[in-house]
Amino acid sequence: MKTLSKSSRWVVGAIVSTLAFGSAAIGQSSLYSNTPMAGGGTPRQSQFWIDPTGENDSDNDAISWAPFILPEASTVTRLRWWGDSLPDLGFYVSFYNQDPNTIASQPDIFAAGSQPIARWTITGPQVQNVGGMYLFTVDLPTPLTFEANTRYFVSVVARQNEWYAPWYWYQGMNTGSTFWWQRGAHMYFNIAGGRAFELWGSPVAPACPADISGPAGVPDGVVNVEDLNAMLSVWGTDVGVGAPEDIANGDGFIDVDDLNALLALWGCM
């Protein structure tokens, strides 16, 4: 059984004093990337005529949905996509669940009452001309959290003030597909070639098994000095398998392994 020496306890105190001032925030990073093919590949129309009379019945209307799967649960805060120049009235940006009634790659839009996860009108995205292709960037008005290994869809639709004006979403380098609708064709398609877009944000913070105590003696949602004190109160004892303080390896003993595991999760919420 490993014990904590007097000098080690001093080191622990110094570590705790440092950690008490806070931990570094998880930085925003690219969660999903499908950059465009040279020249835009095979573009797909995705535009909607904003009819001033409210009819909105142009046969040229089209919508493209692009599927994505994230390897770990993550919160998305930014969307980037590549396509034609900025349309007159900006974009509709929407996120959808996978249709739960089929294994086919299609958004949840067919069942009565189906709604997007989120939908925004974006009139002022950041715009860059990159080699003749336009890169649009928008910070989502509300961050969205997605589960790991689950198919979702994003849709980008240009808002046009001319009934015949198309807007093209470019093709990405990665293999994939596009779920597509055009009013004039009177049907939906699942066609080869994914769309060019990126999702930015950060992985969801891991669970906190080291949150074993709090001011009232019960877990309080953060790993801090309360949890360290709870561990040190049973230091070097056989607390039995399954005890909350035995967070390292489940051997029933509270020792340096458990302390290191707690410190590795310091500040976790």
Q: Where are the domains of the chain?
A: 6-25+205-264, 29-203
Side chain identity, residue 171 = Q
Q: What is the DSSP letter of 253?
A: B
**Model confidence over 91-142: pLDDT tens digits?**
999 999 999 999 999 999 999 999 999 999 999 999 999 989 999 999 999 9
Specify whether the CB–CB gap between 196 and 233 falls below 8 A.
no
pLDDT(189) > 80: yes
What whole-number distance in Å separates Cα of residue 203 and Cα of residue 16? 26
pTM confidence score: 0.71
What whole-number distance in Å separates Cα of residue 123 and Cα of residue 189? 28
Residue 97, burial from CB neighbour count under 10 angstroms (0-12, 13-18, 19+): middle
pLDDT(28) > 90: no
- Stated length of the chain: 269
**Model confidence over 48-92: pLDDT tens digits?**
999 988 887 899 999 999 999 999 999 999 999 999 999 999 999
- Please give the distance of CA 28 from its chain centroid, rounded to a whole number: 10
- At 31 the pLDDT is 97
Alpha helices in the chain (DSSP H): 6-19, 225-232, 256-264
Residue corresponding to tokens 């098994």: 209
Specify whether the CB–CB gap between 159 and 167 falls below 8 A.
no
- At 238 the pLDDT is 84
Helices (H) then strands (E): counts for the chain:
3, 14
- At 18 the pLDDT is 39
Q: Given the DSSP bridges, would you call strands 47-49 and 44-45 parallel, antiparallel or unpaired?
A: unpaired
Percent of residues, the chain, with pLDDT higher than 90 = 61
Protein fold of 29-203:
Jelly Rolls (2.60.120)
Residue corresponding to tokens 């034609």: 84
